[in-house]
Every structure is written in structure tokens, then in C-alpha cells.
Amino acid sequence: MNVVPQRLHDAVARAREVTDHPVLTHLARVGLVAYGVLHVLIGWLAFRIAWFVQPATEDADQTGALQTVASSPGGRVLLWVIGLGMLALALWQAGEVLRWWTGLLSPERRLRAAVVCVKCAAKATVYAVLGVTALFFAAGAEYDAAERFRDLTDETLEIPGGSALVVAVGLGVTAVGLYVLVRGFTGGFMKDVDLDAAPDRWEPLIERVGSVGYVAKGIAFSLSGGLLVYAAATQDVSTATGLDGAMNVIAAVPTGQWLLTAVAAGFVLFGCYALARARYPDRDPAS
């Protein structure tokens, strides 16, 4: 009766060994560096929208950042490095799911294990999507996430029950934004940094930088979700363009230049936090 569970356990253990391999860990660090650089670029693009270019003329999101990399000298090579690094990071992060899955078999640990597995799987998915997108750009493909997001929202609204689905997704994105916001205020993100390896003198700076970065991301994601709910209520998908739409909405309000500048600075600081995490990585959010 225990043959199949034991074989499954052995298979997961072997997969875990792969995700713990030092080579993959080093590649994951490359992915974390790329993740940080992308956020710095998003912050720069948001700053440009605030002060130098008209809103909606640049994409202040992940694809805009990748387009900036592609247009730089050696950009195609850098995109391959970013894409492969992000995929390695996704695999490395998924290894934590492999470590916690046995907790799902225990009634006492099931809830906590499920929460940890969902969080780690969600992170791995985000990293994988960014990695695949970077590889698309590296291969010369053209992709506009904001435009595709708007078209997908429009297509969803046309099907029966589509409005309810868009509202549900919007509320989900808002919930993620609020979760990120809470992590910024509470410092929960420091669990992703190996504090034992980091010098004590750097920990307060990493926490302050990360707090501002997480708060900025939380605001932007919460607003993105709110725009989806608004699109479903008004049947107007013009602002339903994900992160880029949120940036442009911030720019359009009174004192929007300064508000968007603050958000832009937050994204840059989040990028700096990601670089610190690349130096002292810890993938276990429950340690």
C-alpha cells in the first residue's frame, strides 16, 4: 500500500536535489539580478512618463523594460541571459514546493504547507512568465503586454459571465497588491533574504529599501486590479492595461507627476532590494 507513496517521495527527493544544486543556485542569482534590473528600468520608464514623455507613449511595465534592454548595445544577448536566468530562478523557487509538499499529507501541517506551496508556486510562475517573455524578445518576437492585456479583457467581457470573471480577476490582483503592501509595512519580505549570511550593518538598509519598494509595488498592483474592476463595471477597457495602465492613471491625477515620481523611486528601490537578495538569497518564505 505504501509502494506508490514511497516511489513518489523518492522522485520528489531526487527533483529536490536538482533544485538544490549549486549550479542552479548560481543561475538563480543571475535571475534575481535580472529581476532587480527590470524593476529599476520600470522605475526609470515611470519617471520618464512623469516628466519627459506623454502618458501612453511608453510602456512602464515589464515589456517596456525588456524593450529598453533590447534596444541597448548587446541587448539581444542580455535578453537571453535574462530569460534563462529567470527560468532558472523559477525552477529554484519551485524547489521549495517540493520541500513542503509532504506537509499536505499531515492534517496538522496541511494549512501552513498549502499556503507556503501556493506562495512559492505563484512566485515561480511570475519568474517563469518573465523568463519566457524575455526569450520571446531575444528571438526577435514583438509583444506588447499592455495591449494584449487590454484585448484579452475586451474579449472576456464579450462572453457570458465575462464581467464577473474580470471582476474576480481584478479583485484577485487587488488582493495580491494589498498582500505586497502589507509585506512592505511589516517587513515580511526579509524572510527572502539569508540574514545569517548578510552583514548586520546592511540589514537595516536592506529592510528600509525593501519596505519602500514593496509599498510602491503594492500600490501599483492594487490600482491595476481596481482598473480591471472599473473596466468590467463600465465596459471600458481603455485603462485595463495592467501595470502600465496603473502608471498612466497615477500620472493623470492632480499632482500626478510627483506621485508617479514617488512610485518610480519605489520601483528603483525594489530593484535594489532584489539585487541585495541576489547577494544573500533565501527562497524559504516560512523560515
| Tens-place pLDDT, residues 101-111 | 666 666 777 78
Residue ranges, the chain, pLDDT below 50: 1, 4, 287
Stretch (H or E) spanning 112: helix 110-138
3-state secondary structure of 199: coil
pLDDT for position 1: 43
Each residue of 35-77: pLDDT tens digit?
999 999 999 988 988 887 766 566 777 888 888 888 888 888 8
Distance, CA of 145 to CA of 61 (rounded, Å): 8
State the pLDDT at residue 101.
Answer: 67
Cβ–Cβ < 8 Å for 130, 187: no
Q: How many helices (H) and strands (E) does the chain have?
A: 10, 0
Quote the percentage of the chain above a pLDDT of 90.
24
